[in-house]
Each structure stands twice: as structure tokens, then as C-alpha cells.
Amino acid sequence: MAYKLYYLDLRARGEPVRWLLKVLVQAYTEERISVFTQWPQRKKDFEFEVTPVLEVEGQQLHQTTVICRYLGQRHDLTSHDLWTRTRQEEVMEALHDVSNIVSTAFIARVRGDDAMAKGDAEKVKVKLAVVIRNIETRITEQGWILAAEMTWVDVCVAAYLDIYEEILGQDLLTGHPRTAALLKNVRSLPQISAWISERPGWTKFEDPEGLF
């Protein structure tokens, strides 16, 4: 099966889906929609008027966690214990709380509200520190979040951490060795290493320069 991913021309919430599709070695195409010039006209094409959207056998699947959970379960990269799966997904939702603040910072900058943009950027640092502290406590001796083997959650969490490390700097995970090792291990997977070397750079909207 070939999937089709629809997302804005950003990393953000689309990047975990991309990483997971690549780790699963699933063929897919992607339509990148310009956040500035195309999105206002294209949003009506999607049932909930949001992206990312994964097209599966002609049907739309919305929301990052839902998409990634589906892919992980369909392609057997998931924990088979309900409680473990649920606790793993807590981490994903906590990272989405952070991404919401990041988005408001970028939107404020576009609107020229520098004070709000800077204020939200500081909130990101505070919130993310709490999330990373909790991720660290959930990583097992085997190196994965609440599991002995890698699951889809590890891949998606690493994709987010990759973004935030680029935004906030290489010392983001200082003092959190297990989290740093998880990110390193996922980045070193051949499919991810290749993607990192070839993916598009930051677009104007999400370029962190001068904000974080």
C-alpha cells in the first residue's frame, strides 16, 4: 500500500508522521501545502480543516497521534499492553501541548507582535523542560519509553525532540542522558539519517532564528 500525506510546508506536526513512515519503510507521497499562499484555499479539502492528514485507501485520517497510532498498530511497531500504550501516548500529548505554544509564538511573530512572540518562546522553554523531565523517568534500561523494544511512540517523540533541539540548542537534553540516547538512536537509523540529510530546511514561518 502507498500512503499519501498532506501537510503544510513545515516540520512541526508532520515530522513525526514522516519519521514513522520512513522507519516502517512504507511507500508514501506527500503534498506540502504553503502555509502562506495555499492553506486558506485548501483547508476546505479536509474534513476537519486541519492537517496532517494521511490518505489511507482513499479515506482521510486526521491528527498526528491518531495517524501514528494507526501506523504503529497496523505495522506492528507498538506495545501490546493497553496501560503501557496509554502511558506512552501521554508523552505525545504533552509534546503537543508544547507545539501549541510554539505555534502561537510563530503566529505572533507573523502578526508583528514581538512581545507576545517572545513571551510564548519563554513559555515553550518552561513547558518543554517539564515534559523532558518526565520522558527521562519513563525510559527503560533498554532505552525506550516504557518498553523493552522501540515502538512508534519512540520514533515520534524523537522527531519532536529533533525539532526542539534545533530550535533551542544542543544543550536541550543536558542532564537527561536516557532521553539524549533515545534521540541519538532513532536519528542513527539509516532511514532517518538519510531523511535528515535531504529534508527541506526551515520555512520562513517556522525559522527559529531570532525568536528562541
Instruction: Summarize pLDDT for 102-120 with one digit per residue, the tens.
Output: 999 999 999 999 999 999 9
Give the mean model confidence (pLDDT) for residues 42-55: 97
| pLDDT interval class at 2 (50, 70, 90) | confident
Question: What pLDDT digit, counting tens, does each position of 146-156 carry?
Answer: 999 999 999 99
pLDDT over 70, % of the chain? 100
Task: Tell the burial category of 167 from Cβ atoms under 10 Å away from its Cβ (0-12, 13-18, 19+).
Answer: buried
Domains 3-76 and 82-189 share a fold: no
Range 3-76 classified under CATH 3.40.30.10: yes
Q: Domain locations in the chain?
A: 3-76, 82-189
- If pLDDT is split at 50, 70 and 90, which confidence band does 86 have? very high
The mean per-residue pLDDT over the stretch 82-99 comes to 97
For the 82-189 domain, the top CATH level (class) is mainly alpha
